[in-house]
Amino acid sequence: MDTITWQHFEQTDIRVGTIVEATDFPEARKPAYKLVVDLGPLGLKKSSAQITKHYTKEELTGRQILCVTNLGKKQIGKYISEVLVTGFADENGDIVLAQPAGKVPNGSKLM
């Protein structure tokens, strides 16, 4: 594993946001949802996430998650993703969301 400097790590902007909307993304090559995430002072941001194995759209709404906010926009088909939703692959390669252990203000930065 390559080592990075503390300054490189500090450049990664990881923030807490609350999912306010989750909809199907039928145009995606792999099963995914389109998400709208409230990042507090950063506003509402869109993302696509391949998290359909562990989560329904209904249970995602209101859930706080960790997002990388400074990677720039990424086009996924006709959809523009503005933040990267973070998670971990389980034993089958399906994504389990990274979440704070307790409720924190939207937009809080990972320290």
DSSP state of 9: H
Give the SS3 label for residue 96: strand
pLDDT exceeds cutoff 90 at 52: yes
Q: What pLDDT, on a 0 to 100 scale, did the predictor assign at position 25?
A: 95
pLDDT exceeds cutoff 90 at 15: yes
Greatest alpha-carbon span in the chain: 40
Place 111 in a pLDDT band, splitting at 50, 70 and 90: confident
Q: What pLDDT, on a 0 to 100 scale, did the predictor assign at position 74?
A: 94
pLDDT exceeds cutoff 90 at 77: no
In the predicted model, what is the mean pLDDT of residues 31-53? 97
Close Cβ partners of 3 (under 8 Å, ≥ 6 residues apart): none
Domains with residue ranges and CATH for the chain:
9-97 (2.40.50.140)
**% of the chain surpassing 70 pLDDT:** 100
Q: What is the pTM of this model?
A: 0.93
Give the SS3 label for residue 51: coil
